[in-house]
C-alpha cells in the first residue's frame, strides 16, 4: 500500500518492486520506532497547555475563551446530530455542510451525500432559537456556526436565509467557509474566489470568512502549502481589504509549511488559522510552542498509520 502511495497510484515496472518494497519497509520501521517513542513520551508527561500569551482574539468576540480550546460539533448534518449538539453545553461551534438538493432546497449534507432530513432553514432557525433562549440563563453562552459551502449555487440563497433568520447581534460568531483556491494535491476549486468573498462581505459583513485551499490525496511530493499558494490567498485578502479571516489549513499538509503558516499570521493581526484533519504529535507540539492559542483554532483527529509512513518519507523532501 505504501509503495503504491509513493508512486501516486501509478503502475510500477516489475523490476523496481523489490527495491521499492525494501525502501518502504525501512521507512515503515523507522516510522514505527519513532511513533513508539512518541507514545512513551506522551505516557510519561502530561499534555502541554497551549500558549495563550500572544495577541487578542481576531474573531468571534462573543466566544470569550481561548480559541484553541473551542469544542467543535463537526459535520452536524442531521437533525439528531443537531439535537445532540444543542443539548451538549460544552459545544462552542457547530460546523455543518451546505448543499443544494435536487429539488433546489438548501440542505445540510457532505458529498457524496445528496439528501438530508435537515434543511439550512431549519438548522439556522433552531440554533438561533437556542441562542435567544439562552440569553435568559446566567450560565448560557451563544453557540457559533460554521457553514461549509460545498456548492457555489448554495452561497447566495444560503446567505439570504442567514440574513433573514440569524440575529444580527450574533453575526460575529458566524463563519462562512469554502475551498476557494487550489492547494496541495487539490484540483481546481469549484468556487470563484473573488465572487465568494464579495457576496459574503456584502451580505454578512461582520461574519468571519473561513478561506481554504483544495487538497488531494496525500503524497510525499505534495505535503506542503507552496509559497505561490499562500501568495494567492494573501493577494486575495489584500484586494478585498479583508479583516476577519481564518485560513482553513489541512494540518498534515502544514508539516513542511511552517514558514507559510507564519507568513499568513504575520500579514494581519486579525488573521487566524484553523487546522483541520489528521495531525501528528510533532505538528501539535509545533503549534503549541510557536503559535498563540489566540491565533489558532484546532479541529483535528489522530494521524493514521499510513500517514505516519508518509510523514517519515516526506522528511526527505524540501520544506516551504
CA gap 275, 273 in Å, rounded: 6
CB neighbours of 137 closer than 8 A, spacing ≥ 6? Answer: none
Residues 258/285, Cβ–Cβ less than 8 Å: no
Spatial neighbors of 271 by CB under 8 A, at least 6 apart, are 58, 237, 245, 246, 247, 264, 265, 295
Question: What is the model's pLDDT at position 41?
Answer: 41
Show the CA angle centred on residue 43, arms to residues 282 and 26, nearest 5°.
50
Q: What would you report as the CA-atom Rg of the chain, rounded to the nearest whole angstrom? A: 21
How many CA atoms lie within 13 Å of 191's alpha carbon, on the beta-carbon side?
A: 27
More confident residue, 134 or 41: 134
pLDDT given at position 267: 96
pLDDT band of residue 252 (cuts 50, 70, 90) is confident
Is there a contact between 314 and 303 (Cβ–Cβ < 8 Å)?
no
Quote the longest CA-to-CA distance of the chain.
72
Residue 256's SS3 state is coil
pTM of this structure:
0.77
Helix ranges (DSSP H) in 240-304: 258-267, 281-290
Q: List, for residues 166-177, the tens digit of each pLDDT value.
A: 998 888 999 999
| pLDDT score, position 52 | 31
Residue with cell 501539535: 284
pLDDT tens, position by position, 85-132:
999 888 999 999 999 999 999 999 999 999 999 999 999 999 999 998
Residue 290 confidence (pLDDT) above 90: no
Q: Is 207 helix (H, G, I), strand (E, B) or coil?
A: coil
DSSP, residue by residue, 107-153: EE--TT----S-BHHHHHHHHHHHHHHHTTSTT--PPEEEEEE--GG
Does residue 45 carry a pLDDT above 70? Answer: no
Pairing of strands 93-100, 106-108: antiparallel
Q: Which of 278, 269, 275, 214 is nearest to 245 (CA)?
A: 269
Residues 6 or more apart in contact with residue 250 via CB below 8 angstroms = 183, 184, 213, 215, 275, 276, 277
- Can you give the pLDDT at residue 262? 95
Q: What is the pLDDT of residues 182-196, one digit of tens each?
A: 999 899 999 999 999
* Chain mean pLDDT for the chain: 80
CB 70 within 8 A of CB 85: no
All three cell numbers of 161, joined, read 436565509
Over residues 203-221, the pLDDT tens digits come to: 999 999 999 999 986 554 5
Q: What is the pLDDT of residue 286?
A: 85
What is the pLDDT at residue 70? 84
pLDDT of residue 63: 42
Determine the pLDDT at residue 77.
97
266 has a pLDDT exceeding 70: yes
Q: What percent of the chain has pLDDT over 90?
A: 52
pLDDT classification of 56: cutoffs 50, 70, 90: very low
Look at residue 137 in the predicted model and tell me its pLDDT: 61
Amino acid at each position: 500500500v505504501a509503495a503504491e502511495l509513493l508512486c501516486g497510484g501509478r503502475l510500477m515496472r516489475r523490476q523496481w518492486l523489490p527495491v521499492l518494497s525494501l525502501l518502504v519497509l525501512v521507512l515503515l520501521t523507522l516510522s514505527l520506532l519513532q511513533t513508539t517513542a512518541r507514545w512513551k513520551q506522551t505516557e510519561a508527561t502530561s499534555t502541554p497547555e497551549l500558549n495563550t500569551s500572544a495577541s487578542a482574539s481576531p474573531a468571534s468576540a462573543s466566544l470569550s475563551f481561548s480559541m484553541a480550546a473551542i469544542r467543535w460539533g463537526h459535520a452536524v448534518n442531521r437533525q439528531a446530530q443537531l439535537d445532540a449538539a444543542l443539548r451538549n453545553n460544552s459545544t462552542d461551534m457547530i460546523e455543518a455542510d451546505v448543499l443544494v438538493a435536487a429539488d433546489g432546497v438548501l440542505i445540510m449534507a457532505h458529498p457524496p451525500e445528496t439528501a438530508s432530513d435537515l434543511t439550512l432553514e431549519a438548522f439556522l432557525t433552531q440554533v438561533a432559537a437556542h441562542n435567544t433562549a439562552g440569553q435568559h440563563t446566567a450560565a448560557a453562552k451563544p453557540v457559533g456556526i460554521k457553514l461549509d459551502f460545498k456548492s457555489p449555487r448554495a452561497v447566495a440563497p444560503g446567505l439570504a436565509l442567514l440574513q433573514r433568520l440569524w440575529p444580527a447581534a450574533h453575526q460575529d460568531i458566524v463563519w462562512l467557509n469554502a475551498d476557494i483556491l487550489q492547494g496541495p494535491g487539490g484540483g481546481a476549486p469549484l468556487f470563484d474566489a473573488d465572487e465568494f468573498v464579495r457576496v459574503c462581505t456584502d451580505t454578512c459583513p461582520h461574519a468571519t470568512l473561513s478561506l481554504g485551499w483544495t487538497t488531494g490525496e496525500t503524497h510525499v511530493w505534495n505535503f506542503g502549502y507552496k509559497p505561490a499558494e499562500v501568495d494567492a490567498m494573501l493577494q486575495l485578502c489584500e484586494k478585498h481589504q479583508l479583516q476577519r479571516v481564518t485560513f482553513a489549513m489541512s494540518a498534515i499538509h502544514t508539516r513542511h509549511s511552517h514558514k507559510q503558516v507564519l507568513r499568513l499570521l504575520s500579514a494581519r493581526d486579525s488573521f487566524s488559522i484553523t487546522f483541520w484533519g489528521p495531525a501528528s504529535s510533532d505538528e501539535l507540539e509545533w503549534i503549541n510552542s510557536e503559535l498563540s492559542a489566540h491565533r489558532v483554532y484546532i479541529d483535528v483527529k489522530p494521524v493514521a498509520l499510513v500517514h505516519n509512513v508518509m510523514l517519515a518519507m516526506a522528511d526527505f523532501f524540501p520544506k516551504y
